[in-house]
Amino acid sequence: MSASDDTIGIEAALDEAGRLERGGDHASAVTIYEHLHRSLPEDLEITYRLGTAFLRTGRLEEAVPLLRQVVFHNPGHLAARTNLGNAFLLMDLLDKAEEHFQAVLQNEPDNRNALFGLASALIQQGRNLEALAYCDRLMMQLPNNAAALTLAGEAASDDPRLNIAIARYRQALKADPDYVPALLGLSRALYRRRRFDEALSLTERAALRQPRNAEALALKGQILSALQDFQAAMQVLTTAIELAPDNAGLQVEFSVAARRQGELGPAIESAFAAWNLQPTSVEAAKALGAALSAVGKAAAAREVLMSGGDLGSLGHSTRELLERLPGDIHAVAIIPTPPEAEPDIPTQCDDTPEALERDEQPRLTPDDDDLPLFRGF
């Protein structure tokens, strides 16, 4: 076979892999790229495509060295550098992700993927104000893109700008009514505004579209607890825990709902499970202490609450008690306590997109209907 025949064969294989990727069959594309890479390990285009395919299929540890190889030999390969940043972002290596996104933007200030990735990394670091600037640059290019608008909502979701976040989420849903991140973002924001009915409706829409989305179910459980429907909250949170058994926060939420429902055995068991998942969790310790106090174990509750969230500080006898106590509790009835009081909010924002367009700080309107109920392109 001649060299030209080999070239034709490689090009045909690359075309087929590209066709599979466009059709969503990334696993089959990976198989083709892996075969080509074994034959041509120094071909940077094949290396880039394989690294990107690994990224898309969640094989991050395999994607990183390949994308690094491309960037090392060709520092100007901005797509490889952006994808390397995305891999680090997904691995929670936020400093490294930020470094690569910044490098891309220095060469190409309007690169959408880098703008999106950098804003995401900054938000995860709690640097929301910095992220807003990159979101604004992204929205100038994509004014009606649901993902860009949702990201801007996340960046504005701290308390001083929550009204802007709500408006951005509404704009995103106007662009795409079924965009689940926007549904959940708006629901979280309205939950903080104590507008529980609309927040619950939004989580139900999200769960309908993604029934196995643990985040949507967790938020729904929180809202149901705020509405004091603790039994329904427990049912929803049970499903969420089945989907994400290693999520300590879900166990804490379940414990609080169970305690308020009077189900003290499950309350203690789930709080202790959360603490074992995160042995330095203050929230898990608080939930466990509250459940122990409700069942009359004052000494154990005091030790747990005084631990500062350090599971390792518990004495042997208290650990033994926590292991056996849930099984000893069959039916202990208590009067469910209401949710912790939230600060009164005498006004609510005129948070429509139209208000946002009129003014970057939407005006406030009298609180008529707020009942006192409690990622890339």
Q: 221: domain CATH number?
A: 1.25.40.10
- End residue of a domain, out of 226, 245, 264: 245
Identify the domain containing residue 301 by its residue range.
246-336
Rg (CA), the chain: 25
So what's the pLDDT on residue 280? 95
Residue 81 counted as domain residue: no
So what's the pLDDT on residue 8? 55
Please tell me the distance from the alpha carbon of residue 321 to that of residue 270, in angstroms, as a whole number: 14
So what's the pLDDT on residue 35? 92
Q: Do 276 and 238 share a domain, yes or no? A: no
Residue type present at position 304: V
Please tell me the distance from the alpha carbon of residue 267 to that of residue 284, in angstroms, as a whole number: 11
So what's the pLDDT on residue 195? 97
So what's the pLDDT on residue 57? 93
**CATH code of the domain covering residue 327:** 1.25.40
- End residue of a domain, out of 245, 263, 284: 245
CB atoms closer than 10 angstroms to residue 336: 15
So what's the pLDDT on residue 7? 57
So what's the pLDDT on residue 272? 94
So what's the pLDDT on residue 65? 97
Query: CB-based burial of residue 69 (10 Å sphere; 0-12 exposed, 13-18 middle, 19+ buried)?
Result: middle
Residue 172 counted as domain residue: no
- End residue of a domain, out of 224, 245, 266: 245
Domain count, the chain: 2
Q: Do 263 and 315 share a domain, yes or no? A: yes
Instruction: Outline where the chain has alpha helix (H).
Output: 3-22, 26-39, 44-56, 60-73, 78-90, 94-107, 112-124, 128-141, 146-155, 162-175, 180-192, 196-209, 214-226, 230-243, 248-261, 264-277, 282-294, 298-305, 316-328, 353-358
So what's the pLDDT on residue 325? 83
So what's the pLDDT on residue 207? 94
Mean pLDDT by 10 residues, the chain (377 residues): 54 88 90 92 93 94 97 95 97 97 96 97 96 96 96 93 96 97 98 96 96 95 96 97 95 96 94 95 95 93 93 90 78 43 40 45 31 29
So what's the pLDDT on residue 226? 96
